[in-house]
Structure 1
Amino acid sequence: MEQAAVKPRVRVRAGTSAGYMRDTQSGVIAARPASLREHRDEIRRVWTRAAGLAMDLLQNSGKLRGAADQIIADTVGIELQLNPRPDLSRFGYNPAETIAWIRELKAEWKVYAWTPLECDFRAKWTIPQMTDIGVRHWLAFGESVGVCDFVPRSQRLPGTKTGTKFLLLSPQQLVQDTNDVEGLYQGVIHDSYGRPIAYRFEEKRDGFRQKMDYPARDAQGRQSVMHAYDPFSSDDVRGISPLVTTFRKYLMAENVDDATAQLMFLQTIYAAILKSDKPSAEAFEALDMMKEAGGDGAADIASDFVDYFKAQLDRAAESEIRLGPGAGVSHLAPGEDMEFKNITAPGPNHKDVIGTFNRETARALGITYGGYTLDFTQATYASTQMENASTWPIARRRTDRIASPHVLIPYASWVDERIETGLTPFKGGIEVYRANREAILWALCTGPSKPTADDVKKAKGASERIVNGTGTLEQEISEDGGDPEEVFESRLYWHNRYIDAGMKSPFERGLPSDAAADGDTPAGKNKVDA
């Protein structure tokens, strides 16, 4: 006969059950208090304190200041390359006309962006400089804000040709006021749908501080205020410094470094120890008590004892111990010994502990450990490549989310001015441009080239992808921090110049430089011209 299936029995200790948040016997989860609040409320609660502490650390830490410069170098480089991508075919432009229109626009933009008198409201900074400042604002405040405005001809400085100006403001000027009645939350005014319609800044005008509202968009719906930040939640209104998550561990590491340095300093100075078998102060106090007790011969014994040590001290007074220039020990008193202690700081675990702190800070900032600490003692080619592979997408994302608005928003307002004033002709006229403005202004910004530990291997990889059809020149050039259109125009110009001068063009090749060495080209056979 078949036996009935028996349900397995598992013994479970009383008071335990499977599920989320099941604590350990030590109560490690229960010991950590936590509450759930709206993320934007949490930002508003700590924004001022976090910004002040982040700014203090950036101003007083060479390591963090260097990390900030490294982030700017990874995100912006020298400048962001503007790459307009309008589709002008539906407006009657053929490919040649489209290329010519974009080329002219980019050439004029270069002059505008690198002329503070033209692009900056204060006439101080270039667009690349304001982009750098904006990234620093993001590091300290978690956001960057600016205003695009048009300055009429009567208010322009002499020699100024354009009226479009970009004013970069400090995020601390964006007020912290909140008023649900008017839709104001931490300085940003929203409509009933939650859309930002104005930003309230506190400014100093004519010696008085006053609050001013700047509309988020103008009457035609064009963006006027730039507010670049990286939201954590969909309800976020303001940003917060990325340094916030590093405060605890960074300050702990700083305290460890300070304590270690002070300990080494003290041990370096006081490592020489004078050992003596002479009695301490308590022994001399005991002799005084013998005198007061009045025992037979106690006073004489105490006096003889003091006279003995007085003679030794007189002898020792003639000797000296010198530290510094001309260091030496001429003579020690009887019973004394000179001992030199070895420095015991830092301890054997100091490097590992500091390394853990530094890795956490570097990870939160989105840079490599080597880029943050400049410690490459244990770095290998593989580890360097893996570091770059993990942080490079973060740098590209930071370029798109944080740095690019400092270029794209002024660029859009500048193109508006050029087309509506007739400086840049457009087929169909102003009305067609206004109706298709977003499509015509579509552009991308590319940052610096991807870092690599071996330029030769990187170049071979790019060539292999192009030959196999898995990559494009546009993709490879953009990853290298260049502009595909500018690279093409430059190569065409120099190719024709070499040919016209009767010289062989360096661009007439179809294979890598070391193809023959790799056996790709038969010996004695010329390489195929491009």
Structure 2
Amino acid sequence: MNMLDKMIGAVAPGWAERRAAARAEAARHEAVKNVLSGYGKGYGRHGASQTKKSMVMWQTPVGDADADIHQNLTELRARARDLHMGSDIVAAAHKGLRTNIVGTGLRLKPAFDSEFLKLSKSQEKKLRDSIYREWSMWAETTKCDAAGLNDFYELQSLAFLSTLMSGDVFGLLPMLPRKHSVYDLRINLIEADRCDTPPNVALENPDRVQSGVEVDGDGMVIAYHFSNQHPGSDKVSVSPNDWVRVEKYGALTGRLNVIHLFEAERPGQRRGIPVIAPIIESLKQLNQYTEAELMAAVISAMYTVFVKSPAEEDDGMYGMEEPETENQYQEPIPGTGGDNIKMGRGAIVYLDPGEDVEFANPTRPNPDYVAFVNALLRQIAAALELPFEILTKQFTSSYSASRGALLEAWKMYRMRRSWLAKSFCQPIYEEWFVEAVTKGRIDAPGIFDDPAIFHAYTRAEWHGPSQGLLDPTKEVDAAVTRIAYNFSTAERETAELTGGSWEQNIEQRAYEKARLADLGLDSAGAQNVSPKDEMDPDEVNPAEEGGEEQNAKENQN
């Protein structure tokens, strides 16, 4: 309040109050004007507008990864799994991704740095053969699985599918010695629900532990908290959960204890979300719409006759029996006591006098059903980074369009395949390599002396099944051209086209050519020498024998 207002207040208090109120109103109008002018600039006129009718009711609170993701994970997982079990399109999407990205499993190809390790050609071959031999003995049997059910390649498939459904999956790497097993390393896959924050930890340290993932002061993940049983198990009501804190890296050895397989979308995100999370609502409504259309089509296919009798209550006095109201061929609807009437295939139902049945005409099949569903599936496919043709397995377009769809899909397949190899396969391979060296199964001098040497020994490539060939001749010719002009390598092209190993192929081909030569055959399988040269001198050729007889007859004639 300035000096003038004080003087006016002393002489005319009412006037002073009106001046103050007017000043406050002017300040409010100025503030509103400033706010509106701010909303009318830049994004305030578009996506951030608070005044447009189409946007004014769109009020979205701002939350961090914990508020937006972690607090909703339980519901997201339950709904995603329910759709996987009950929706054909979701099951097709999940399993299609699993089949194309993982397939029969990502296969190991050792890529150790021979130059850095100063290995001779003979040493390089010996090391490679040793790795292949020892790795297959562990990875291609169920001995690598803590549960003893799957081999390493089946575990890849299970881990990837679980990540799609639940958002993430955990792999523990315990050392469990067992009979008749050379290696002690095991892979123990744990479903996402079992990693959660224990009740006491949630009260003591809520900032450091979120959704079962513990970080240090710098935000680095240092441990995970697991329950001994699934929260949805029936055993939970009988025995309470026991919680175990597992450090991500061993305190003494620094070896990896826990693999956390998930794809992050935001900084600070510690848990993954199901791949269908953004489209759960659309998928559920599509599923309900499909069920409604199916039921309407079934009802329209029913042929049921309803017979209404005009008989009165006293008709029985004149020898007319009351019509039977129960249809012996119709089963009662469960839970209704048998009083309800349901339609059947070629059924006849008698009704009591005065009763009537009316049905709305379902007009099925709906002529717009296919077009509407396909339009919705295109949006769902786009959200999953899949072409419509791949999602629905409908290749009805031209060769160019189908090839374009496959190439677009394989961009995503390769990205996820690389992610799976780096996040799951490679860490496990490195832990196995350490055990193989410490047990003397693989000779790798100096591997523990320097991290660079360790990295040089454990470098590897992981190749999965090929994408298939729409036109084998064209695509093989293109691969040969890329190799000829050094745009690619024979090893890479072999993996892309067939999923095999170029090194193993040439060794096998060398054996096959040597074997063909031993048998006197050329590369096409034909004999290099004529059959006449190989015949026994005392043996008579039937063809020649027949020819001599024919010549003798002709001479006689």
Normalised to the residue count of structure 2, the TM-score between the two structures is: 0.70
Q: Distance in 2 between matches of 1:141 and 1:71?
A: 15
Q: Distance in 2 between matches of 1:87 and 1:325?
A: 72
The answer as to 2:101 corresponding to 1:69 is no
Q: Distance in 2 between matches of 1:138 and 1:424?
A: 33
Q: Distance in 2 between matches of 1:397 and 1:343?
A: 47
Deviations 1:288-315 (A, max 9, x none): xxxxxxxxxxxxxxxxxx9xxxxxxx9x
Q: Which residue of 1 aligns with 2:55?
A: 29
Unpaired runs of 5+ residues, structure 1, are 1-13, 279-305, 307-313, 318-322, 329-339, 508-530
Contact 2:102 2:465 in 1 (8 A): yes
Q: Which amino acid aligns with 2:456?
A: A
The count of residues paired between Structure 1 and Structure 2 equals 444
Q: Distance in 2 between matches of 1:240 and 1:95?
A: 47
The residue correspondences of 1:432-511 to structure 2 (distance < 5 A) are 432=449, 436-480=453-497, 481-505=499-523
Q: Distance in 2 between matches of 1:446 and 1:83?
A: 8
| Residue 327 to residue 232, structure 1, CA distance change in 2 (3 Å) | closer
Q: Which residue of 2 aligns with 1:196?
A: 221
| Residue 495 to residue 60, structure 1, CA distance change in 2 (3 Å) | same
Q: Which residue of 1 aligns with 2:258?
A: 225
Q: Which residue of 1 aligns with 2:168?
A: 143
Contact 2:194 2:229 in 1 (8 A): no
The one of 414, 418, 431 aligned to 1:400: 418
Q: Which residue of 2 aligns with 1:261?
A: 294
| Per-residue deviation, 1:402 | 3.1
Q: Secondary structure at the match of 2:228?
A: strand
Deviations 1:427-450 (A, max 9, x none): 3x4543666223321212122112
Deviations 1:95-149 (A, max 9, x none): 44223312320222112111112x1122222111111110111111111210112
The residue correspondences of 1:176-255 to structure 2 (distance < 5 A) are 176=197, 178=202, 180=205, 183-204=208-229, 209-218=241-250, 219-255=252-288
| Per-residue deviation, 1:252 | 1.5
| Per-residue deviation, 1:203 | 0.9
Q: Which residue of 2 aligns with 1:124?
A: 149
| Per-residue deviation, 1:271 | 9.4
Deviations 1:138-191 (A, max 9, x none): 11111121011222xxxx332111111111111111114556467222211112
Q: Which residue of 2 aligns with 1:59?
A: 85
Q: Which moved more, 1:265-274 or 1:417-426?
A: 265-274
Q: Find the structure with the greater CA-based Rg.
A: 2
Q: Which amino acid aligns with 2:179?
A: P
Q: Which amino acid aligns with 2:378?
A: R
Q: Distance in 2 between matches of 1:40 and 1:358?
A: 31
The answer as to 2:398 corresponding to 1:380 is yes
Q: Which amino acid aligns with 1:365?
A: L
Q: Distance in 1 between matches of 2:59 and 2:209?
A: 31
Q: Distance in 2 between matches of 1:124 and 1:196?
A: 30
Q: Which amino acid aligns with 1:459?
A: V
Q: Which residue of 2 aligns with 1:301?
A: none
| Residue 393 to residue 268, structure 1, CA distance change in 2 (3 Å) | same
Q: Secondary structure at the match of 1:245?
A: helix
| Residue 90 to residue 379, structure 1, CA distance change in 2 (3 Å) | same
The one of 25, 50, 68 aligned to 2:76: 50
- Aligned-residue identity in percent: 22
| Per-residue deviation, 1:506 | 5.7
Unpaired runs of 5+ residues, structure 2, are 1-35, 313-319, 324-342, 349-358, 526-557
Contact 1:148 1:224 in 2 (8 A): yes
Deviations 1:375-420 (A, max 9, x none): 34x4322221111111101111111213553322221111101111
| Per-residue deviation, 1:362 | 2.4
Contact 1:73 1:448 in 2 (8 A): no
Q: Which amino acid aligns with 1:169?
A: I
| Residue 137 to residue 17, structure 1, CA distance change in 2 (3 Å) | same
Q: Which amino acid aligns with 2:504?
A: E
The residue correspondences of 1:404-423 to structure 2 (distance < 5 A) are 405-423=423-441
The residue correspondences of 1:164-175 to structure 2 (distance < 5 A) are 164-175=185-196
Q: Distance in 2 between matches of 1:120 and 1:326?
A: 55
